[in-house]
Amino acid sequence: MAEQIESIRPRADSTRERILDAAEQLFAHNAYEGTTLREIATLVGIREPSLYAHFANKEAIYDGVIDRALIPFSDALLDWSMPKITLQTLFDMPARLLALHARHPYCAQILHREFTSQPHRISLKVLQWQQQFVEQSQRFMASLPETDSDSVHKTRVVANMMTCTNVILGIFSTRGMQQRLLGDEFDEATMMEEHLRLANKIFRSLVL
């Protein structure tokens, strides 16, 4: 059975945020090409022309969804690049990444689709963000204790990033399959604990 689209109820948040909430769901379910401005407006509960008071077009809405999803990760990378970083800080990364994605799980599905797209179909906005993350991560890895900065090649950085990213994003983009496989036994909190346990093992193997 297809996953249901949740209604976007009016709340204290701005109309712009409600538009992003609705678009986030629709892009996750139907992809960018399969989502229309009319559908976004209907889910928000406004008329389609009202969207243009906040966004120029569908691409601008998509860019807004991507920015909102990735800015917290950029901020986190800046924190992790601080000179006084500890090994425990590194080991806390999976939990922090899971918490960030849990706030906007639909974004994880959108990003996972981008990561599995053909090169020419990848959103320029997503690519620009990832290039920034690669540069920050390369500097970060080179600054770790007992790390030979000359050995931190871009290929290694990208491979490590893709491994971690696929693990984290896959947790959210495969929720439907997890629920179908476990049926009545599915418990989100228990499942997240198990995912975190596995993510920690994978991440530690990359760091040590």
pLDDT tens figures, 111-164: 999 998 999 999 998 898 889 888 877 877 777 665 666 667 889 889 888 888
Residue 202 makes CB contacts below 8 A (sequence gap 6+) with 163, 164, 167
Q: Which of 22-31, 38-47, 80-89, 173-182 has the lowest mean pLDDT?
A: 80-89
Decide if pLDDT at 173 tops 60. yes
Would you give the DSSP letter of residue 5? P
Residue 180 makes CB contacts below 8 A (sequence gap 6+) with none
pLDDT score of 28: 92
Secondary structure (3-state) at 92:
coil
Decide if pLDDT at 2 tops 60. no
Decide if pLDDT at 51 tops 80. yes
Q: pLDDT tens digits, residue range 54-95?
A: 999 999 999 999 998 888 877 776 666 555 566 666 678 888
pLDDT score of 23: 96
pLDDT score of 35: 97
Q: Mean pLDDT over all residues of the chain?
A: 84
Q: What percent of the chain has pLDDT over 90?
A: 42
CB 164 within 8 A of CB 206: yes
- The pLDDT of 171-198, averaged and rounded, is 93
Residue 111 makes CB contacts below 8 A (sequence gap 6+) with 66, 69, 126, 169
Q: How far apart are CA 41 and CA 48, in angstroms?
A: 5
- Of the two residues 134 and 7, the one the predictor is more confident about is 134
Give the predicted TM-score (pTM) of the model.
0.77
Half-sphere exposure of 77 (CA within 13 A, CB side): 18
Q: What is the full DSSP assignment across 60-85? A: HHHHHHHHHHHHHHHHHHHHHTSTT-
In SS3 terms, 189-203 reads as HHHHHHHHHHHHHHH
